[in-house]
Amino acid sequence: MRYDVAIIGGGAAGLYLASRLSSLGVAVIESGARVGRKLLATGNGRCNLTFLRPLRNDDYNCREAAVFVGRISPDDTLAHFSALGLRTRTEEDRVYPYSLTAASVLDCLRRGAARAGADIFTGARVIAVRKESGGFAVDSLSADGTAKTVSAASVVLATGSDAGFGEDSLSLYTALGHTRRQFSPSLVPLLTDKESVKGLSGVRVRCALRAGDAVEEGEILFRDNGLSGIAAMNVSALYARGKLGRGDALFIDFVPEIPREILEEEFAASNLTVGELLGGYFHTRVAERIAARAGQTLSDVPDGKALAAAVKSYALTLEGVRGKDAAQVMSGGLPLSEFDDDLMSVLCAGAYAVGEALDVDGVCGGFNLQWAWTSAEVVARALLR
């Protein structure tokens, strides 16, 4: 079984790449029973394809990733999806399939790969990649123990990470001489001290969450043992990158659009009780926690300064993050320094890597999927040359 390209992994990056290689013989080798399973879970099933706002310094864990995304932009990605027949819609600089279902994106990529003539092998877990004369031998095993070897001039690692129900397959490339940074959960719920979130489980608020010098605005969802939601997920990326640690303080600003001084004046001038004041802003359980943090009860006359301080800087203690099973992505992987501008290995010519297999992770908002599309497009253009 001889091909021009063997793609290990039938996820977002692998299928996108296959859809771009119509002039080459391509094999996609997927360990799961079907391709694209993790893609179906992205964005709570809605699949936030990409973003339309300018890049910030902390959107990715490394500057090099932003350079690649500057070369192959969201506009380039959307042009390819449009050519494949996908229609999209935009919500607050986030791009989704028009159907708001990830299945539409997967169907589009599957059709694109099929139209490009790719052979897709499922239920085949790759166990080794061997360099041989003229290219590579890719050995796999099926669930029943059947062995298969695919030979190809080039090989692409597109296996992602072990976030959620994924697998860690980086040993396939460390066997070729590569190093790696161990995976750690990113975009994952935060664990905090339980006292600060007591009685709030299930309550959602839009707020600003501050961790050190970083401030993330968006929704948080209180849980029995911490915080979830977009703002909390983005803060978890800082933890995964080693910029936050256990015992560090987090602060919630429940009304980021109102300066503390204005809030103090409002509270001090009011003839309402604490409960009546806070009830105009917050869920009852949130109001109770804020009042307690300010040393007051809901029936008290407001202490303007103490109450405003609790609203604007509600402190929690970070105790870690949940495990990989709850993570959307993992931080870690093969270092970009071991790959060239075409994402080909500088240690083993003809071996490429894309997507989450590389040490690139982004914040919420379509940044991780855009990295999958960008890296796949970079490799596609290199292979087509």
Q: Is the pLDDT of residue 41 over 90?
A: no
Q: How far apart are CA 140 and CA 121, in angstroms?
A: 10
Say if CB 216 and CB 58 are below 8 A apart.
no
CA dist 275 → 271, 286, 290, 296 (Å): 12, 11, 10, 10
Once rounded to an integer, what is the mean pLDDT over residues 245-265?
97
Q: How far apart are CA 187 and CA 25, in angstroms?
A: 36
Coil, strand or helix: which one is 139? Answer: strand
Say if CB 383 and CB 20 are below 8 A apart.
no
Once rounded to an integer, what is the mean pLDDT over residues 317-327?
96
- The pLDDT, as a whole number, for residue 85 is 97
Say if CB 7 and CB 158 are below 8 A apart.
yes
Q: Is the pLDDT of residue 255 over 90?
A: yes
Torsion angle of the four alpha carbons 27, 31, 34, 37, in this order, in degrees rounded to the nearest 10? -110
CATH architecture of 190-321: Beta Barrel (2.40)
Q: Which CATH class name applies to 2-185+328-384? A: alpha beta
pLDDT band at 43; cut points 50, 70, 90: confident
| Helix 304-312 / helix 284-293 crossing angle, nearest 10 deg | 120
- The pLDDT, as a whole number, for residue 273 is 96
Structure tokens that stand for 179 in this block: 């190093």
pLDDT band at 200; cut points 50, 70, 90: very high
Once rounded to an integer, what is the mean pLDDT over residues 233-262?
96
pLDDT band at 165; cut points 50, 70, 90: confident
- The pLDDT, as a whole number, for residue 111 is 97
Q: How far apart are CA 326 and CA 352, in angstroms?
A: 28
Closest CA to 232 of 310, 318, 291, 292: 318
Pairing of strands 26-29, 119-121: parallel
Q: Is the pLDDT of residue 367 over 90?
A: yes
Q: What is the DSSP letter of 374?
A: H
Q: How far apart are CA 286 and CA 147, in angstroms?
A: 58
Q: How far apart are CA 28 and CA 156, in angstroms?
A: 9
Amino acid letter for position 112: G
Say if CB 180 and CB 360 are below 8 A apart.
no
pLDDT band at 1; cut points 50, 70, 90: confident
Amino acid letter for position 77: T
**Can you give the residue ranges of every domain in the chain?**
2-185+328-384, 190-321
Once rounded to an integer, what is the mean pLDDT over residues 33-39?
94
Percent of the residues in the chain that have a pLDDT greater than 90, as a whole number: 96
